[in-house]
Structure 1
Amino acid sequence: MKKLVAISTILVLIYILFASAVFSKTVAPPLPVLSSEAAIVMEATTGQVLYEKNARSQMYPASVTKIATAIYAIESGNLNDVVTVSKKARNTEGTRVYLEEGEQVTLEKLLLGLLVNSGNDAGVAVAEHISGSVESFASDVNLYLKDVIGLQDTNFENPHGLFDPQHVTTAQDLAVLTRYATKNEEFMNMFGTKELPWNGEAWDTTLYTHHKLLREKPYDGVTGGKNGFVPEAGVTLVTTAGRENLDLIVVTLKSESEAEAYNDTVQLLDFGFDNFETSSIPTNSGFFAGELEYITPREIIYTHQAGEQVEIDVTEDGKLRITDQKGTLLSSYQFPVISDSAKNRSSIQKDSGSFLEQVFSNSLYLLVIGGSIVSLVYYRSRKKR
C-alpha cells in the first residue's frame, strides 16, 4: 500500500506542475527610468520593439546622421573610388579628420573617418563624390530613406548632422535605419571599428572610436555604435549589441550629458538582455485552421519575454499569428492559398491528430483522478484501522 501512496503522490505532483506550466502568467519586467527625451530598444533580427519613449517624436539627430550617409554611400558608390577633397569639404566646421583641399582619399577611408572619428569634412567629401553637391546628396538620401528603407518621419539636409532646423528624424526611424544598415557586412566592419591608423596630408595619427561602450567602458556584446552632439540636439547615441540569439539596437536622443546618454543606453541594453529572448517556429511545421493544414515554408522567428508562454494560431484566412499573454501580436505570417487536393488531405490528417490528442488528454485526466482516488481510499482504510 505504501507503493500506491507514493505513486499517487507523484501523480498529483505531476498534475500540479503541469497545471502551473500551463496557467502561470509571466510577470512583466519593470521599465527603465530614463533621462533621455526619446529612446527605443529594437530586436534587430525580428524588428520587435521591446521598449520605447517618445520614439515617434521628431528631433535633431546630430552626428548619428552619419549612419545614413555611410550606408547610402556604400550601396551607391564604390569603396575603391578615389575622391578628391574640395575646398568646401576642407573648410567644414566641427569634428574633422583634417582633410586638405586637393587631397585624394579612397571612399572607404573617408567612410571610416566619418564613422570612427565623426569627420564632418569626410561627410561633405563623400556627399560631393556620390551626388555632386551636399544639396543633391541630401535629396538623394531622403528618397533612399523613404523608398528603400521605409522611413516616414526623417528629413536630412546634410551628410554630417550639423544643426539645421529642417534636419530631423525620430528614435523609431533611426532604429529602423540601423537595423537595415547592420545587414551590410562592410557597414558593420566600419561601425564596429575601435581604432584606425590615419595617414593624411595634414594629420598622421591613430583614430579611436568616440563610442565609449566600444572602447573606454566596454559593454559585453556591443558590436558597433555612433554618438553625436550639437547644442540643439543634446547628446545622441546609437548602439548595437548581440548575445546568444538576441541582437539589440538602442537609440537615445536629446540627453543633457554623455553620462546620461550612456547610463540610459546601458539600462536599455540590460533591460533587453535580461528580460527577452528570440524563439522560432522551424521550417515545415504544420498548423491546422478548420479543415486545412498549413506548413511553414521557412523558419519564423519572434521575440518575446523570457519564459513567457506565447499563443500560436492560424486564422481561417491562413494567417499565422504569434501573440503574448496580453494578446499583443509579436509576429505574423500569411500562408499562400492551399489547393483543393491539399485541403482533403489536411482534413484526414486533422481528424487523426484530433483523435490521438483526445485519447492522450483523457488518459492523463483519468490517471490523475485515479491516483487521487487511490490515495483517498488508502487514507480512509488507515484511519479505520
Structure 2
Amino acid sequence: MLKRYIVIFIIMTFLILIFPGFNSLTFAEKPYESAKSAILIEKDSGRILYSKNIDEKLPMASTTKIMTALIAIEKGDLDEIVTIKSDWINVEGSSIYLKSNEKIKLKDLVYGLILRSGNDAATAIACHIAGSVDNFSALMNKRAKEIGALNTNFTNPHGLHSDNHYTTAYDLALISQEALKNEVFREISKSADYMAERDLNSHFYNKNKTLWEYDGGDGVKIGYTQTSGRCLVSSATRNDMQLIAVVLNDNNWFEDCYNLFDHGFDNYKRIQILRKDNYIKDITINNGKIDRLPVVINKDLYYPLKKDELKDVKISITTPTKLTAPLKKGDLIGKINITLKDEIIYEGTMKLTKNIDEKTVKDKFVNLINDIF
C-alpha cells in the first residue's frame, strides 16, 4: 500500500513539473463538484473564467434580492420614509421584524434586505415601489431582459420558492455584474454591519461571510431554501480585478466560491489592452475648418488574461482616410475589433467629440492668400 502511494506521488510530481498547466486544471475541476451549477466571471469584461452547468434553470432563493435592491436603488428615493402596511409583514423566513404602521427609510429597508435578507423588507420595498408584489416582479423581469438575463423569471422580490421563479448561474452573474456597477449597491453589499434609524432591531449584521473570511471579499448575497439548497453570489477584488462567483445548490457554498476566486486570481491578470488618448492616425478633412483630424483611443480597456494569452490578442482599428465637412459630434470615424485566438472579445466605435464646420468663403480666401505667399 505504501509503495502505491509513493508511485502516485511520483507520477503527480512528474506531471506538475513537466506540464505546468496540469496542476491548475485539476484544481479548477475538483473544488466545485458539490455545486449543481457554478460560474466565475471578471466583473468589468464579463469574461467567463470557470463554468459548470451555467445555463441550467434553478431556484436561487434570496440571491433574488440582488435584483430587488438594484431596482429599489434605481427607481426609489432612498431617503424617502416608507409607512409599513399590515399585509407587508409576517412574511415567512428571514425578517427584520417590521411592524404595522412603522415608519422607516427606504435606505434602511434595502440594507435590511441585503445584510439580513429580510423577506418582509423585500415585500415592503416591492409594494412601496410598484404597488404590489406582482407589479414589482414585472419590473424585475423587464430589468433582467435589459441586462441580458434571458433565462430568468421572477415571481416575487424575496426568493421564497415558487415553481416559476428561477434563474441560471450565468444570468445571476450578469445581474450581479450590473448591480455592482452601481456605487450605492456596492457600498451596501460590502457593509459588514449597519445601524438603521429605528428603535428596535436596528443593528443589521451581514450574513455574507465572504467579507471577512476571504482576502479581498466585498459582496454580494447569500440564499437558502429547502428547494433551492444553498446559493451564494460572492465578489472579491485583488490587484484592481474584481471577480464574481456564483454557486447554486451547493452544500460547500462558501468554500467553493473561495476556491473559484483562488483559481481566478492565480491564473488571470487584468491587462490593459487599450489606453485612452493613444494616437492612432490623422484623417484628412476635405472642405473643413481643420485640414486634419487626429484619431485617438476614446477609452481604457482592460481584460483578464492568462500569462500565455497576451500574444494571441489582436487589435484591428479601421478608419477612413478622408472625410468631408460638415461633420457632427457623434459621427462615426472608426471601429475597433479585438480578438483572442480568433474569438471576438471587444467591438467598439470611435466617434467625433465635436462638430467640424465646413469652410466659409472667407476661410477659402484666406487659405488662397496663404498658399500664394
2:224 is aligned to 229
For 2:186 and 2:56, the matched residues in 1 are separated by 27
Equivalents in 2 of 1:304, 1:287: separation in Å? 24
Within 2, Cα distance between the matches of 1:41 and 1:212? Answer: 18
The one-character-per-residue Cα deviations of 1:77-118 (angstroms, maximum 9, x if unpaired) are 100111111112112111000001111111000000000000
Give the strand-richer structure, 1 or 2. Answer: 2
> Where does residue 173 of structure 2 map in the other structure?
175
Report the counterpart of residue 136 of structure 2 in structure 1.
Answer: 137
**Higher relative contact order by CA 8 Å / sep ≥ 6: 1 or 2?**
1
Unaligned runs of 5+ in 1: 1-24, 339-385
Pairwise CA distance, 1:186: 1.0
Deviation at 1:329, TM superposition (A): 2.5
Number of residue equivalences: 300
Q: Which secondary structure state, in structure 1, belongs to the residue aligned with residue 29 of structure 2?
A: coil
| CA contact 1:294–1:335 (8 Å) conserved in 2 | no
Following the alignment from structure 1 to structure 2, what is the Cα–Cα distance between the partners of residues 249 and 175? 7
Write the letter of the residue equivalent to 1:121: D
Shift of 1:65: 0.3
CA–CA separation in structure 1 for the residues paired with 2:336 and 2:192: 44
2:269 partner SS: strand
2:210·2:218 contact (CA, 8 Å) conserved in 1? no
Retained in 2: the 8 A contact 1:62–1:161? yes
- Relative to structure 1, is the Cα distance of residues 214 and 300 closer, same or farther in structure 2, using a 3 angstrom cutoff? closer
Q: Aligned with 1:273: secondary structure?
A: helix
Give the Å deviation of 1:198: 4.5
Secondary structure of 1:204's aligned partner: coil
Residue number in structure 1 paired with 2:126: 127
Q: TM-score, normalised by structure 1?
A: 0.73
2: CA distance between counterparts of 1:287 and 1:205?
56
Q: Is the 8 A contact 1:99 1:200 kept in 2?
A: no
Q: 2:266 aligns with which of 267, 271, 274?
A: 274
**2:241 is equivalent to residue 246 of structure 1:** yes
How much does 1:199 deviate?
5.8
Cα distance in structure 1, aligned partners of 2:237 and 2:338: 26
Corresponding position: 1:283 with 2:285: no
Q: Which runs of 4+ in 1 moved over 6 A?
A: none
| Alignment partner, residue 309 of structure 1 | 310
Deviations 1:182-229 (A, max 9, x none): 11111111111111235645x3353211111214xx211011121000
Q: What are the superposed Cα offsets for residues 256-315 of structure 1, whole Å, 9 maximum, x if unpaired?
A: x2xx01111011000011110111121344679xxxx98533222222113533331427
What amino acid does structure 1 have at the position aligned with 2:123? Answer: V
Note if contact 1:48-1:330 (Cα within 8 Å) is conserved in structure 2: no
Separation (CA, whole Å) in 2 of partners of 1:128 and 1:122: 10
Name the one with the larger helix percent.
1
- Give 3-state SS (helix, strand or coil) of 1:160's partner: coil
Structure 2: gaps (5+ residues): 1-18, 282-293, 320-334, 353-373
Q: Residue 214 in 1 paired to residue 211 in 2?
A: yes
Q: CA deviation at 1:180?
A: 0.8
**Cα distance change of structure 1 residues 271 and 328 upon mapping to structure 2, 3 Å threshold:** farther
Is the Cα–Cα contact under 8 Å of residues 304 and 330 in structure 1 kept in the other structure?
no
Larger Rg: 1
Amino acid at match of 2:271: S
Q: TM-score, normalised to structure 2's length?
A: 0.75
